[in-house]
């Protein structure tokens, strides 16, 4: 995927990546994340990618230049990450600190306090509802931002009367 010069192919490989990730999320019990990955990966990302590639050109013209700096940077980050994971609790350890402090409260009290058996939804919408408000704001920012940057053409085919669309006209 990194070496594919054909952008269309690269975008498709991103789709495969998303599919495999979705399966992985299910295996790791993160069904809500899997659901999101499924909806986003299958529904919108590929379409957006293809539309953008249609607008910008299909082939990557230039080979990767100066490959040493990026390799160095990713090695540095990767090395630091590996160093950092050395003393993280092992995979699936129920005694890990992450499983001890606040998470039990969600799992034990969550349904009683919110009336929602899906704890992910309970935490998402209630305990950390403000994060989710932020999340909606991010999406909203993206939508308004895309409008502000590209606008939406009002094709003039339908007649001059339609020219007053003020969602951002483009010449």
156 interacts with other proteins by CB under 8 A: no
Least distance in Å: CB of 165 to other proteins? 7
Residue 137, SS3 per DSSP: helix
Least distance in Å: CB of 42 to other proteins? 4
**Residues 18/6, Cβ–Cβ less than 8 Å:** no
Least distance in Å: CB of 72 to other proteins? 10
In angstroms, the CA 116 to CA 122 distance is 6
Least distance in Å: CB of 160 to other proteins? 16
Which of residues 156, 159, 161, 167 is near other proteins by CB under 8 A? Answer: 167
Other beta carbons within 10 Å of 1: 11
- Which residues from 87-126 bind other proteins, rule CB under 8 A? 87-94, 96-103, 105-107, 110-126
**Residues 58/12, Cβ–Cβ less than 8 Å:** no
In angstroms, the CA 125 to CA 23 distance is 25
- Which residues from 55-94 bind other proteins, rule CB under 8 A? 55-58, 60-62, 64-67, 69-71, 73-75, 77-78, 80-94
Binding-site residue total for other proteins (CB under 8 A)?
A: 145
In angstroms, the CA 120 to CA 32 distance is 7
């Amino acid at each position: 995927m990194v070496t594919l010069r054909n952008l269309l192919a690269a975008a498709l490989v991103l789709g495969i990546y998303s599919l495999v990730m979705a399966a992985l999320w299910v295996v790791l019990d993160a069904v809500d994340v899997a659901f999101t990955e499924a909806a986003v990966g299958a529904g919108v990302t590929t379409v957006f990618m293809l539309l953008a590639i249609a607008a910008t050109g299909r082939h990557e013209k230039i080979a990767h230049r100066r490959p040493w700096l990026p390799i160095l940077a990713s090695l540095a980050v990767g090395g630091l990450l590996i160093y950092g994971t050395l003393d993280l609790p092992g995979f699936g350890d129920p005694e890990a600190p992450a499983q001890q402090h606040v998470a039990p409260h969600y799992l034990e009290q969550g349904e009683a306090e919110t009336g929602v058996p899906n704890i992910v939804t309970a935490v998402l919408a209630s305990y950390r509802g403000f994060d989710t408000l932020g999340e909606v704001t991010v999406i909203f920012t993206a939508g308004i931002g895309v409008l502000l940057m590209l606008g939406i053409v009002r094709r003039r085919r339908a007649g001059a009367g339609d020219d007053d669309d003020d969602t951002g006209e483009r010449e």
